[in-house]
Chain A
Amino acid sequence: MSHEGSPLGKDLVGIEPLSADQIRMILDTAEPFKEISKREIKKVPVLRGKTIVNLFFEASTRTRVSFEFAEKRLSADTVNISSSGSSVVKGETLVDTAKNLEAMAIDMVVMRHGASGSAKFLADRIPSNVVNAGDGRHEHPTQALLDMLTIRDNLKTLEGLKVCIVGDILHSRVARSNIYGLLKVGAEVAVCGPQTLLPFDIGSLGVHVFRRVEEAIEWADVLNVLRLQLERMKGGFIPSLREYNRFFGITNQRLEAAGKDILILHPGPMNRGVEIDSDVADGDQQVILDQVTNGVAIRMAVLYLLAGGRPESAEAAKAGGAA
């Protein structure tokens, strides 16, 4: 597949390498694709004849399913390869996996892997387009894009908005991709969480750091509440889930104390009663299911653009033209 014409280059391995214009282009390209999912027949022939492999080395339901819907709605042929644990443990190295994919002449690979940098590793070694669906603690670019689209849908703009990411920043690829993306498009970004779960000198990335979640809520227009991986407690990063909820949980009480409208995002899956209380998760400030819906549109846009589709032709493409 030629990627000469792709306005994104060959791959999407992260948000950090993208320009603000490229980010806005992806968001804009997603707009017309939203409508396809609302049709009776949710299919356009944009990627007909293209083969996409969804290569998931870590368990994931929602991201994999979201990519698969996006691929199928664009009429691509898809193959899912799931494997729990590291491929190295299984005996086949990532480089052999890459070579095998290359030998099967596939067009695109969507990969999730537990090692930071694995997406770039694969992208550097195969001619197919590579889309990073999460690499270790590094980046999860489509998640950040769908988060940005959801914020823009609800608040009309990203520029000048104050977005605070709450929770385990240290282990979070979602946090890094959101930080890079939001800063590029002109939002202000903060993080808040236990200091044990913040990376070294995170402030140097250009974000504010709040020690108390109340202060973060006071400051923010948008809260992006990260899932607290339950195994972090075993790692000793926090003393208990109960205490985490007590000091960092997003509760109605805390939101009401701020006395203003705050948009609540969560990349899912949620631990109700830990990082987010049910009354918030089901409340009227959250847009969590909008995120899920937008996820499919964003992934369609990314696949379309990587396949060489022009952003200005997306409207026509959804009517039936190929990329």
Chain B
Amino acid sequence: MSVRPILIRGGRVVDPSQGLDRPMDVLLADGTIARLGDDLDAPEGAEVMDAGGKLVTPGLIDVHVHLREPGGEHKETIASGARAAAAGGFTTICAMPNTEPAIDTAAAVGFVMAEGQRAGSTRVLPVGCLSKGRAGQELAEVGEMVDAGAVAITDDGSPVMDSGLMRLALEYSLNFGIPVADHPEDVGLSRDGAMNEGLVSTRLGLRGKPNASEDIHIVRDLLLAEFTGGHIHLQHVSTAYGVEAIRQAKARGVQVTAEATPHHLILTDEAVEGYRTEAKMNPPLRTAEDRDAVREGLRDGTLDTLATDHAPHHYDEKEAAFDDAPNGIVGLETSLGLVLTHVVGEGLIDLSIMVERMSLAPAQAFHLSGGTLAQDSVADVTIIDPDLEWTVDPKTFLSRSSNTPFAGWTLKGRATTTIVDGRVVWSL
């Protein structure tokens, strides 16, 4: 690859992998971090970027996005999702396999890889299905999918109801060194719930999903991970009890990583008031007590990974009665601004921990390159203006969908340049 070297000059480098948080220059060449230091000279032909007043971080990584292709191209494509990710400051995203058809073979994994490369934007890495056809019956061909590029397996979108199958997945994944990601939900308990089961659902007359429906599968997964030695990655944890159960399992040495989403860190089920379908997702927004526990889990590292669960839906689908609307919100283009404003900005975590949760920890959990600005590592870099105020306007999204409860919110902080493999894929 022949790209011009890039010298990022004078930015505040925040790289928890090396314990760095100070102004430095970063030189990118040949797709790698060539040098990190003070007052670096620009090599001949290099592009020099002035990053004064800005943050320079290892590229942000989102291990949980839905790109809808194949089968749901009216909501999102791999290319549009990758561009939305780039605009949000992400250099790598992991695409969930609940497409139509599902990504449950090496050939399908290859399709996602190829489309991601063709998009030439943020790096798209496929997550393969845990079970054939996401049917929850038999293991998919995990080894072949990993050979083709899959970085994890999951039946996300649906929980794995058969505990025996989850045991097999955790065991088999050990042969290939990948995590098993799970959407923890006992559907016997959540039935056809449309929101959190609580005071708001009682008042609105909407069917509820109780915390217990999530907690039971979190605990089950932790027990199975402990028993098998496999790596469980718990997705979008939303309950206070779930956070505590993961905290205790980590203390026992269980191989577990876990996600917090921006919306579960910031909103509660009150956001559903008025039957707002843009606040409908699964797991649902829960109570203030749960939200506070998720925040504490993110702070102390119990929830080590920040992920968006980017879930685009066409506006027609969300413009419906609450029961009839699909679950999910887009997140790639709002995540960083929300976290800077409402998590870092409110003093819950500092910038270094934010970069750890949004870059280093996800890279480690899914064994990805990136997550660091150490010399010779991949040249994935995000440059962030922490003081830039902007208003969320879904009309300007690069995503094909605009289903967000954060429309009209004023946020402070935004990615201004996103660099993948030493190449600028997006700049403000």
Contact = CB atoms under 8 A, between A and B. Distances in A.
Interface in A253-288: none
B321 A94 contact: yes
Contacts of B274: 117, 120
B174 interface: no
A120 B276 CA distance: 11
B205 A88 contact: no
A176 interface: yes
Contact of A118 (B201, B210, B321): B321
A247 interface: no
Interface string B298-331: 0000000000000000001001111110000000
Interface stretch (A32-40, A199-207, A299-307, A314-322): A199-207
Interface residues of B, number: 21
11 contacts: A94-B321, A95-B320, A117-B204, A117-B275, A117-B321, A120-B274, A120-B275, A121-B275, A121-B321, A136-B205, A138-B204
Interface in A113-140: 113-118, 120-121, 135-139
3 closest pairs, A vs B, by CB? A117-B275, A115-B321, A138-B205
Interface in B178-217: 197-199, 201-208, 210
Contact of A200 (B208, B321, B323, B324): B208
A115 B322 contact: yes
Given A116-B206, A136-B321, 10 more contacts: A113-B321, A115-B321, A116-B321, A117-B205, A117-B322, A137-B205, A138-B206, A139-B205, A200-B202, A205-B202
Contact of A93 (B201, B203, B316, B322): B316
Interface in B273-305: 274-275
A195 interface: no
Interface in A146-200: 173, 176, 199-200
Nearest to B202: A199
For chain A, which range describes its interface: under 10, 10 to 19, 20 to 34, or 35 or more residues? Answer: 20 to 34
B211 to A, nearest CB: 11
B323 A16 contact: no
Contacts of A94: 320-321, 324
A176 B204 CA distance: 9
Contact of A205 (B203, B319, B321): B203
B372 to A, nearest CB: 46
Of B197, B205, B210, chain A has the most CB atoms within 10 Å of the CB of B205
Interface of A: 16, 86, 88, 93-95, 113-118, 120-121, 135-139, 173, 176, 199-202, 204-205
A259 to B, nearest CB: 34
A136 B205 CA distance: 7
A116 B195 CA distance: 12
A115 B325 CA distance: 11
Contacts of A137: 205-207
A101 B316 CA distance: 18
Contact of B275 (A16, A116, A173): A116
B208 A93 contact: no
B44 to A, nearest CB: 60
A93 B204 CA distance: 21
A88 B316 CA distance: 11
Interface of B: 197-199, 201-208, 210, 274-275, 316, 319-324
A115 to B, nearest CB: 3
A199 B193 CA distance: 13
A93 B275 contact: no
A201 B319 contact: no
A204 B287 CA distance: 15
Contacts of A114: 323
Contacts of B323: 114-117, 136
B205 A173 contact: yes
B325 to A, nearest CB: 9
Among A113, A115, A204, which residue has the most Cβ atoms of chain B within 10 A?
A115
Given A116-B205, A176-B205, A205-B203, A200 B320 contact: no
Contact of A204 (B199, B319, B320, B321): B199
Contacts of A176: 203, 205
Contacts of A113: 321
B202 A204 contact: yes
Contacts of B206: 116-117, 136-138
A287 B203 CA distance: 28
A265 B321 CA distance: 31
A160 B202 CA distance: 25
Most central of A94, A121, A204 by chain B CB within 10 Å: A121
A257 B324 CA distance: 47
Contacts of A116: 204-206, 275, 321-323
Nearest to B325: A115
A232 to B, nearest CB: 13
Nearest to B274: A120
A200 B210 CA distance: 9
A16 B205 CA distance: 12
A187 to B, nearest CB: 19
A17 B265 CA distance: 30
B209 to A, nearest CB: 11
Contacts of B210: 200
A204 B201 CA distance: 12
A93 B319 contact: yes
A323 to B, nearest CB: 30
Task: Output the residue of A16, A116, A121, A135 with the most chain B CB within 10 A.
Answer: A116
A88 B277 CA distance: 16
Contacts of B198: 200-201
Contact of B201 (A16, A135, A200, A205): A200
Nearest to B195: A116
Contacts of B316: 93, 95
A202 B202 CA distance: 7
Contacts of A120: 274-275
Nearest to B275: A117
A137 B198 CA distance: 15
A209 to B, nearest CB: 12
Nearest to B272: A117
